[in-house]
Structure 1
Amino acid sequence: MPLFSQALDEDAFFKSIVVIGLGLIGGSIVKALRLKGYTGKIIGIDSNQSTREQAMTSGLCDEVVAIEAVTTGKVDKADLILLAVPLGRVKETLKQINVLIGTDTLITDVGSVKTTVHQMFNDLFETKLAFIGGHPMAGSDRMGFSNASPILFENAYYFLTKGSYHNASHLEKLIAFVKLIGAIPVVTMPKEHDELVARLSHLPHLTACALVNTFVQRLPEDALKYAGGGFRDTTRIAMGDPRLWRDIFTHNKSLLAESIDGLIDELQKVKSLLLTDQQDEIKAHLGKTQKIRAGLVARRPSEEFSLYPLKLDVEDKPGILAAVTGLLAKKQVNIKDIALDHARERMPGALILSFASENERIRAMQLITEDNLCKIFIEQD
């Protein structure tokens, strides 16, 4: 039986995959592989009986077992072992997978911090085993296999961090794996990844928590009903799982601490400008920030994945999104990214569509203008 129902290069892929942890991420990977036509062997491993039953009922895995089955040697060796467990359980899990490792097995994970995981791997295994870290920038506020989605990774960035002992073939296969499930691979080093997420992910989460705590400490409880969209949008990410974020913060504590210092310095700078009534400097500072933020829509990790955005001044009413996207779909114009601007004080219902090329953006402008759906302007960097 061929590995893929689609015409894909079997030699550049893994013939057997073990996924340890069948929650949202692990379950979504299994579902995405099958959706995209992978017919190789998938073994699912999870410590939760209910999760195992759900995975087995889905029919997507060839085998679904408890972790104890691994330690007793009842599971075959695999080409790829994917650890989809929380950061706090990675070390324990690594100690249990020796019997799954073949002569050319590649091990990867999906954790949000990479340096400590690479270090765990190097400390635990005396032999030179192949490990490449992984971090899909995708998720949901709903956990578990039942909420796993085969399209969770569509057009999401998927970081791959290089280890010490993998070879070029391992990396090529893992890149093919990432592309198959619909994600965009971004290859980097562990520390570079951790520096990036400390500033772009971990610090914003901590800042959202700080804003909520500041509100609770300084305002009466019933004042929350007056909180506008700005406060709600800014603090939404504070709803994350405390156990998950505790592990993330702990594993990236040094770089996160540096980021906190940088934020404190920035706040102190603005505070000084306010107290000394330097209005021109405040305006210049806010203007610089505004310009940087406006350019984020089009910015991507590499030129290969740069997108070309259109901003549409649409009326905030039911069906408008379907009307715009339906028009473009009918004319075979592919939208790579969609964002809704919830800061509606100046521009109600702003919709941002991004395209893979300038030609597609121009084509979209022409179609929307001809149909007189809404006003258009191009985001400026």
Structure 2
Amino acid sequence: MGKKVLIVGLGLIGSSLALAIKKEHPNVKIIGLDIQKSSEEFALKRGMIDEIGGKLEDVAPISDVILLCSPVETVKSQLVKLSKLPLQSNVLISDVGSVKKEIVDTANVLGLKNFIGGHPMAGSHKSGVSAGDERLFENAYYILTPQKDTIKEKIEELQTLLSGTKAKFVTLESEEHDKITGMLSHLPHVIAAGLVNQSKEFNEQHQGAKRLAAGGFRDLTRIASSDPRMWTDILLNNKEVLFELIEEWQEVMNGVKKWLKMENQEAIFEFFATAKKTRNQMPVHKEGALPAFYDLFVDVPDIPGVIAEVTGILGKHELSLVNLKILETREDIFGILQLTFKRQGDLKRAMEILRNETSYLCYEE
């Protein structure tokens, strides 16, 4: 048997990492730990792990690699426990948290010299061990934040172990990582949640708003559906970065408010023109700090059974949808069926299948 890899936390990320490691390195022995016994049993039954670990203090000392796939605060507590155990001298430890400086600093203070922070920038609308997917990280960025004295060979060892993820590895300093994800992920989640909460109060006073919000507003605020416990954890562990970003956002909104009061058409126009130009220069369909989704549009006749026909064809070919929405349905004309996929490859395959098996017009935007 090859290396012993301990995965602590068998949720979406932990179980998906187990599958990816197992696929590329079948000789690796994967030991799984989770606070939910049912998750451990599910992972063992499905072949995600080779063994249920029992207690951290029992299995950590015999492990060659330890992957902590828990919330940030929990990871910090686990690092404290690991620092008190007789670990192997060359053990490699990593995590998957969305905040890195707090975790890397904790490991450094505790003297865990072979700790490398990790953040796979991938997710799903599903959660838990049953959502484990060996392709979850495919083409996504996987950020590594080693300590300053981490040797190159250890970074390469971790990348080799995780090669089955098919992810794109990027190395950053932990502080830089937190600033970037704060701007590109954490602040947008705060703003999205704020908009949704504001609309809740608005909807109570304007009953027609709830129905109209089902379109673009719902898409704009999609990330507000994220796990509230996880995001509480993330915000509290990246609060210094968010203090600055929220203040800057408030200054921007105050500027817009000022321009409206002054009816400053030039400033308002420039505000939107700059945003349009900047967004148009962003990479299209690249995995980044926010979960990526890919939309396929299908012009379908407004007749009974057409949606079942399309979804049935996709189901037959084992293509999974993240979301399905009808953008327009009126009598005697074509409606627009929006099909959302997690991977661009699934979108391309779905478009090819529907074009071959139906007469419907399929396209991206």
The TM-score normalised by the length of structure 2 is 0.77
Structure 1: distance between partners of 2:118 and 2:262: 47
Determine if the alignment matches structure 1 residue 65 to structure 2 residue 53.
yes
| Alignment correspondent of 1:153 | 137
Determine if the alignment matches structure 1 residue 265 to structure 2 residue 251.
yes
Structure 1: distance between partners of 2:296 and 2:196: 32
2:161 to 177, 184, 194: 177
| Alignment correspondent of 1:22 | 10
Deviation at 1:217, TM superposition (A): 3.1
Determine if the alignment matches structure 1 residue 83 to structure 2 residue 68.
yes
| Alignment correspondent of 2:351 | none
Structure 2: distance between partners of 1:375 and 1:151: 25
| Alignment correspondent of 1:8 | none
2:42 to 45, 50, 54: 54
Question: Which structure 2 residues correspond to residues 275-290 of structure 1 after superposition, within 5 A?
Answer: 275-290=261-276
CA 374–52 in structure 1, closer or farther in 2 if over 3 Å, else same: closer
Question: Which structure 2 residues correspond to residues 74-153 of structure 1 after superposition, within 5 A?
Answer: 77-98=62-83, 99=85, 101-125=87-111, 129-153=113-137
CA 121–207 in structure 1, closer or farther in 2 if over 3 Å, else same: same
| Alignment correspondent of 1:193 | 177
CA 172–230 in structure 1, closer or farther in 2 if over 3 Å, else same: same
Structure 2: distance between partners of 1:195 and 1:180: 28
| Alignment correspondent of 1:163 | 147
Deviation at 1:268, TM superposition (A): 1.3
Code of the aligned partner of 1:208: A
2:277 to 291, 302, 316: 291
Residues 122-143 of structure 1, C-alpha deviations (whole Å, 9 max, x = no match): 2233xx5211100011112322
* Aligned-residue CA RMSD (Å): 3.8
Contact 2:64 2:91 in 1 (8 A): yes
Structure 1: distance between partners of 2:71 and 2:156: 26
CA 215–313 in structure 1, closer or farther in 2 if over 3 Å, else same: closer
Code of the aligned partner of 2:19: K
Code of the aligned partner of 1:226: L
Code of the aligned partner of 1:56: L
Structure 1: distance between partners of 2:251 and 2:116: 35
Structure 1: distance between partners of 2:60 and 2:180: 37
Contact 1:158 1:178 in 2 (8 A): no
Structure 1 portions without partners, runs of 5+:
4-14, 303-310, 324-338, 356-367
Once structures 1 and 2 are overlaid, which stretch shifts more, 77-86 or 245-254? 77-86
Deviation at 1:316, TM superposition (A): 6.6
Contact 2:53 2:59 in 1 (8 A): no
Code of the aligned partner of 1:96: K
Count of residue pairs brought into register by the alignment: 331
Question: Which structure 2 residues correspond to residues 5-44 of structure 1 after superposition, within 5 A?
Answer: 15-44=3-32
Question: Which structure 2 residues correspond to residues 220-369 of structure 1 after superposition, within 5 A?
Answer: 220=204, 222=207, 223-298=209-284, 315=299
CA 166–206 in structure 1, closer or farther in 2 if over 3 Å, else same: same
The 3-state SS of whatever aligns with 1:225 is helix
The TM-score normalised by the length of structure 1 is 0.74
Contact 1:83 1:109 in 2 (8 A): yes
Code of the aligned partner of 1:22: L
Residues 252-301 of structure 1, C-alpha deviations (whole Å, 9 max, x = no match): 00101111111111111122222211223322221111111122234969
CA 121–157 in structure 1, closer or farther in 2 if over 3 Å, else same: same
Code of the aligned partner of 1:64: I
Structure 2 portions without partners, runs of 5+:
289-294, 302-306, 314-321, 329-335, 345-354
Contact 2:108 2:147 in 1 (8 A): no
Which aligned runs of 4 or more in structure 1 are off by greater than 3 angstroms?
Answer: 73-76, 298-302, 311-323, 348-355, 372-377
Structure 1: distance between partners of 2:59 and 2:363: 60
CA 273–314 in structure 1, closer or farther in 2 if over 3 Å, else same: farther
